[in-house]
Amino acid sequence: MSDTNQVSLPENFFDVTSPLLLSQPRPQYLYATAFLSALGASLGLEEPEQFQSSGGVPYAGPERDRLIMSSPLMTGIHAASVDFNGQPGTSVRFNRPRFTDTTYTEASREIGLNTTISTQTINAGSEQVSLTLKRLSGPYDQTNSRVAPYGIDQFSASLGLHKLSDIVKLQLVDDFHKTIETIQATLFDSAASVVRPAGMSADNDATVAGQFPMDYDTINRAELAADEANLPVFADGYRAMVITPAQASQLKLDQDFMDLSESHPAYNGLFPQYLRTVNRLHVFKSTSLNRVNNSSSVPVHRAHLLAPGAGLAGMGKAPRIAPSKDDNYGETAKIVWIAYLAQGLADNRFCVSVRTA
């Protein structure tokens, strides 16, 4: 015998959606946070006029599902922040001295009794780096390879369980931060110095995953590269190293790392993504670093050793959520985020790319 119920006659019933919102874990976007902190900027969340009548239960805020990992170290990553007064394409140039290494022996510098100093002049060196303002926007239509807006039907916005305006704004904020995070990580990948584990001279040397894991020796050689490049340290005398979760897992199995590293009292237990402090490096992990497949389809993990002053940050206008005037007579709201930002490296020698596979 079969009863007539919701299972046997689903057409006569509708499901109920709970107003309780479940979590969707997202990274904190460490580099995006550092970049925006340098500018004192955030994506404005003023509600567009088209959303003023949006009904429903409030949705999650942008920080609800994000893994929090902030550190005062990261505020010094960027050497300068610039307020641009111009259109996209406007550039600001920064000068820095260029020192020429010559011969420094006593014999080369001694001026003999009957020797005169040359009157032929030489030039004092200088270098220049530019930072260019660009207009960025999102979200992105992956199917058609273009930036495209979110569209919200005005009538539906008044009926939904959750506020559609909150749902869309949460998506915009995440897309905005992840865009900056990806750009920043890619910039640091272009470091002048690249360090790999012993036996790995190029990314394509790895033929199987895990062949060249992260270990203490690799960290030590990365720090050596930073020391030999005379890279500065943060206010506490340390530099920062940001690694992937897989690299962090490998380090926990490396006995030298575990024996020689320690938990720093200022970070241990306060920041979930802080790993350990070893030598003069605070080691953090991030899920937003690049992992690029080599010719054998083995993912190469790209970590960074960072010194203060590695990056440059600039802004023309404060990032904002922008509605389109093409709204079908007020029936369909279309919104994107727009940001006039400049991102670049002050000096690619101020970071070290650490690659493992």
Task: Return the pLDDT at 252.
Answer: 94
Torsion angles phi and psi, residue 9, rounded to 5: -135, 65
Both structure tokens of 76: 């010094």
Contact 294, 351 (CB under 8 A): no
What was the pLDDT predicted at 257?
96
Instruction: Residue 307: name the closest of 290, 286, 276, 282 by CA.
Output: 282
Encoded tokens for 154: 């005005």
The pLDDT assigned to 330 comes to 76
Among 354, 342, 356, 345, smallest CA distance to 36 is for 342
DSSP helix/strand/coil, 148:
coil
Cα(129)–Cα(220) distance, rounded to whole angstroms?
Answer: 30
Structure tokens given for 210: 């895990």
Say how many residues make up the chain.
357
Tell me, what's the pLDDT at 291? 96
* Whole-angstrom distance, CA of residue 201 vs CA of residue 346: 27
SS3 call for 311: strand
Q: Are strands 239-243 and 299-306 parallel, antiparallel or unpaired?
A: antiparallel
- The rounded distance, in Å, linking the Cα atoms of 184 and 38 is 13
> Is the CB of residue 105 less than 8 Å from the CB of residue 66?
no
* Predicted local confidence at residue 292, as pLDDT: 97
Task: Single out the residue of 342, 349, 350 nearest to residue 132, CA to CA.
Answer: 342
pLDDT at residue 69 in the model: 41
pLDDT value, residue 67: 42
Element (H, E) at 128: strand 125-132
Which overall architecture, per CATH, does domain 194-311+348-356 show?
2-Layer Sandwich (3.30)
Tell me what pLDDT residue 90 has: 87
For the chain, helix (H) and strand (E) counts, in that order, are: 7, 17
334 forms beta bridges with 151
- From the CA atom positions of the chain, what is the Rg in Å? 26
- All residue ranges of the chain with pLDDT < 70 are 1-26, 45-75, 155-162, 266-272
Confidence at residue 98, expressed as pLDDT on a 0 to 100 scale: 78
Q: Dig out the tokens for 35 from the structure.
A: 């970049």
pLDDT in the model for residue 54? 54
Residue carrying the six token digits 């605070």: 282
- Pairwise CA distance, residues 341 & 347, whole Å: 19
Give burial (CB, 10 Å; 0-12/13-18/19+) of 283.
buried
**Residue recorded with tokens 């893994």:** 67
Domain boundaries, the chain: 23-90+129-187+312-345, 194-311+348-356
